[in-house]
Amino acid sequence: MSYIPIKRPKFSLLDRIYVVELVKGLGITMRHLILSLLGKSRSKKDFNGAGIGACMPFPEQRWDAHLPSYYRGAPTLVRGEDGRERCVSCQLCEFICPARAIRVVPGTVDPNSPTPKQEKAPAEFEIDMLRCIYCGMCQEVCPEQAIFLSKEYLITLTDRNQALRHKEQLYQLGGTRKGLINKWNPYK
Amino acid sequence: MECFWTWCCDVLRNPTWFYLLTTVAKLVLVFAVILAFVVLSVWIERRVAGWIQDRPGPNRAGLPLFLLKPFGSKKAQPLSGLLHFFGCPPDGCIARLCRWLRLDREIPTFGLMQPCLDGGKLFLKQEITPSYVRKFYFILAPMLVLGPPLVAAAVVPFASEVSTPFGNISMCVANLNIGLLWVFAVSGLSVYGLTLAGWSSNSKYPFLGGLRATAQLISYEVAMGLSVIPLLMVFGTLNLQDIVHTQATDGWTLLPFWGQGLTLQRWVLWIPMALSFLMFATCIFAEANRTPFDMAECETDLVGGYHTEYSSMKFASFFMGEYAAMVIGSAMVVTLFLGGWSIGFGADEALAAWNEWVAVLCQFVMFLLKLLAFIFFFVWVRWTLPRFRWDQVMKLCWLVFVELAVFNIILTAAILYFVK
């Protein structure tokens, strides 16, 4: 047999009259209404709610402290603990980006710098926040762990040009990260 | 002044002028109340929807006084400064009212301004008339939806009578002897609006919506007409004002606790009355196109239903028409089953004996309160029940309600004949 007959529940006469079940349903919604008016809604604490219902009144109260560790916000570039630009401008993030939000112009590293073995660093690195879809593929693909998604979620623009984030800005937002990548150490 | 007063009395002594002036006054009052209730019921709908779903609902729209800050107000909350500017004492009546309306807070006025702002938004939206529609009927349809509920409101009594030196005023725009039939006849017209909207849009989903609306409204009209016949057998009149008078003296249809309501016959009659109430209320839900019967605008299978192609104020008039139908439906249920304007327990006669105008005012407020309560019930049911399937809607009408209504009529007749 190519199909499996589903066993439907058999309704009693009381169920089919419908009125009793209707009253039960009305009771459930009324309980929710009263609880939210009293400010005692379920899981209000988890949502950082205040006042009526379980909702968080947004601009007055923020979600920031409750963000999970895996939250994907705006992508940023990071430096190592030695202040080295981690990005080696391999352009993998540029190629993988499904929204084509990233543009990298490769440049060379000064041979007198502490990490001359790195050879390349981005001359320009731009992320268009109007195109970015916060998918996190750039972070996954990066072999140097140079690009990370931050927890910044509130990006309000008054101008299209503000959406274009340049290299300096991205480094400033990203800050520094410790460890992980040590292969460009000149003494190694 | 004296001269003007005597002129006024002369005008009012003429029965034609007296009738004309009082009717116009009542007309304006009823129209204003219905439009205000349309707006209010939108607000109630959205707030109650929010509360039931553990949200606050739209609570931001109001008069945020902190917006005065850029215009030179020094304080963050300039209420006290504003009161001082207009010369109001800081702990006076106006100041307390302002504080009760939360004008000194960040979130003012419980979002009461929301429907007004919604209206403004709809008014300012781009008006699109697609090129493929039948223009005349496309423009006619929203009017036909909004008009009938407002016309049907003419026969709804909102208070009892007062006697003035110039004549009696019955607090009901048109005290027709065929009141109930008038309501059925006029509210039946709104089906034309939905059908024409669906057909003239010349597009498949509105067309299906219009078809559903036609079938549903016509079917439920039958059930609705049959379901109130037991009531008419008990009251013996179609005049809504008389029906409410009877309820005021002899107990409401659903709460017969005083007057003639204490007899055995009325207690036994409560069973068919309750059945009748259940059926009539359900039919009103279906007639007003409200969930669980909003098949005509079922967005899961019909995009937006009959008003898919409408935008801006044309859409707003469909929206308002739906809410006006809801208000009139609630008014009908309240009038027929919950005692209309009567305060109950013999309080009407006592008040009327003391001062007729006070009695009328109290009854009016009572009517509005009952109306509000039933509108709340409408909203409550909407956010509780899921939509029926189309075949279930039709089965409920033709296989359950029509039979049950006929049985109910026979039952009522038997009770009226055998139980004394």
R_g (Cα) of chain B, nearest Å: 24
B53 belongs to a structural domain: yes
Q: Which of B67-71, B202-206, B241-245, B278-282 has the lowest mean pLDDT?
A: B67-71
The Cα B215–Cα B226 span in angstroms is 17
Alpha-carbon distance A43 to nearest alpha carbon in chain B (angstroms) = 10
pLDDT > 60? residue B73: no
HEC per residue, chain A: CCCCCCCCCCCCHHHHHCHHHHHHHHHHHHHHHHHHHHCCCCCCCCCCCCCCCCCCCCCCCCCHHHCCCCCCCCEEECECCCCCECCCCCCHHHHHCCCCCEEEEEEECCCCCCCHHHCEEEEEEEEECCCCCCCCHHHHHCCCCCEEECCCCCCCCCCHHHHEECHHHHHHHHCECCCCCCCCCCCC
Is residue B100 located within the same domain as residue B138?
Answer: no
Amino acid present at B191: V
A37 contacts B54? CB cut-off 8 A: no
Best mutation target among A16, A22, A24, A29 (most B Cβ atoms within 10 Å) is A29
Give the pLDDT mean for B113-118. 82
pLDDT at A96: 93
Q: Which domain holds residue B219?
A: 14-60+114-418
Which residue on chain A is closest to B60 by alpha carbon? Answer: A57
The closest of B289, B283, B271 to B414, measured between CA atoms, is: B271
pLDDT > 80? residue B420: no
Is residue B186 located within the same domain as residue B102?
Answer: no
B202 belongs to a structural domain: yes
Q: Is the reported ipTM for this assembly greater than 0.85? A: no
Q: How many residues does chain A have?
A: 188
B1 belongs to a structural domain: no
Alpha-carbon distance B11 to nearest alpha carbon in chain A (angstroms) = 53
The Cα B65–Cα B58 span in angstroms is 18
A22 contacts B55? CB cut-off 8 A: no
Is residue B178 located within the same domain as residue B126?
Answer: yes
pLDDT at A54: 83
Is residue B96 located within the same domain as residue B176?
Answer: no
Is residue B95 located within the same domain as residue B222?
Answer: no
The alpha carbon dihedral of B255, B260, B263, B269 has a sign of negative
Is residue B332 located within the same domain as residue B361?
Answer: yes
Give the pLDDT mean for B34-49. 88
Is residue B305 located within the same domain as residue B324?
Answer: yes
pLDDT at B300: 74
Taking contacts as CB-CB distances below 8 angstroms, the residues of chain A near B378 are: none
B182 belongs to a structural domain: yes
Which residue on chain B is closest to A31 by alpha carbon? Answer: B52
The closest of B53, B158, B67, B137 to B309, measured between CA atoms, is: B137
pLDDT > 80? residue B226: yes
Which residue on chain A is closest to B106 by alpha carbon? Answer: A60
* Domain regions of chain A by residue span: 13-59, 67-174
Phi, psi of B381 (to 5 degrees): -65, -40
A36 contacts B54? CB cut-off 8 A: yes
Q: How many domains does chain B have?
A: 2
Taking contacts as CB-CB distances below 8 angstroms, the residues of chain B near A57 are: 56, 107
Of the candidates A19, A25, A36, the beta carbon closest to that of B51 is on: A36
A29 contacts B52? CB cut-off 8 A: yes
pLDDT > 60? residue B28: yes
The Cα B112–Cα B61 span in angstroms is 7
B197 belongs to a structural domain: yes
Is residue B87 located within the same domain as residue B232?
Answer: no
Q: Which residue has the higher pLDDT, B227 or B9?
A: B227
pLDDT digits (tens, 9 = 90+) for B338-351: 888 888 777 777 77
pLDDT > 60? residue B356: yes
Give the pLDDT mean for B252-262. 77
* CATH number, span A67-174: 3.30.70.3270
Best mutation target among A18, A33, A56 (most B Cβ atoms within 10 Å) is A33
Please identify, among B76, B107, B138, the residue that sits at the C-terminal boundary of a domain.
Answer: B107
DSSP annotation of B76:
S
pLDDT > 60? residue B74: no
pLDDT at B253: 82
B5 belongs to a structural domain: no
Give the pLDDT mean for B264-284. 88
Of the candidates A33, A42, A60, the beta carbon closest to that of B51 is on: A33
B8 belongs to a structural domain: no
Of the candidates B48, B55, B384, the beta carbon closest to that of A55 is on: B55
A29 contacts B59? CB cut-off 8 A: no
Per-residue pLDDT band at B77 (split at 50, 70, 90)? low
Taking any CB pair shorter than 8 Å as contact, residues of chain B touching chain A are 48, 50-57, 59, 106-107, 278, 380-381, 383-385
Is residue B282 located within the same domain as residue B302?
Answer: yes
Of the candidates A26, A28, A33, the beta carbon closest to that of B48 is on: A33
Q: Which of A148-157, B66-75, B208-217 has the lowest mean pLDDT?
A: B66-75
Taking contacts as CB-CB distances below 8 angstroms, the residues of chain A near B106 are: 60
Given the structure tokens 């034609």, which residue do they identify? B16
Q: Rounded mean pLDDT of chain B?
A: 83
pLDDT digits (tens, 9 = 90+) for B292-349: 888 777 777 777 778 888 888 888 888 888 888 888 899 999 998 888 888 877 777 7
pLDDT digits (tens, 9 = 90+) for B171-205: 788 888 888 888 888 888 888 888 888 888 888 88
* CB-based contact A50:A68 (threshold 8 Å): no
Which H or E run contains B180?
helix B179-200
* CB-based contact B170:B157 (threshold 8 Å): yes
Best mutation target among B384, B396, B404 (most A Cβ atoms within 10 Å) is B384
Per-residue pLDDT band at B71 (split at 50, 70, 90)? low
For the record, the structure tokens of B170 come out as 């019955």
Is residue B242 located within the same domain as residue B258?
Answer: yes
* Segments of chain A with pLDDT less than 50: none
Q: Which of B74-78, B159-163, B181-185 has the lowest mean pLDDT?
A: B74-78
B9 belongs to a structural domain: no
Is residue B78 located within the same domain as residue B164?
Answer: no
pLDDT at B65: 61
pLDDT digits (tens, 9 = 90+) for A31-40: 999 888 888 8
Is residue B52 located within the same domain as residue B193?
Answer: yes
Alpha-carbon distance B384 to nearest alpha carbon in chain A (angstroms) = 6
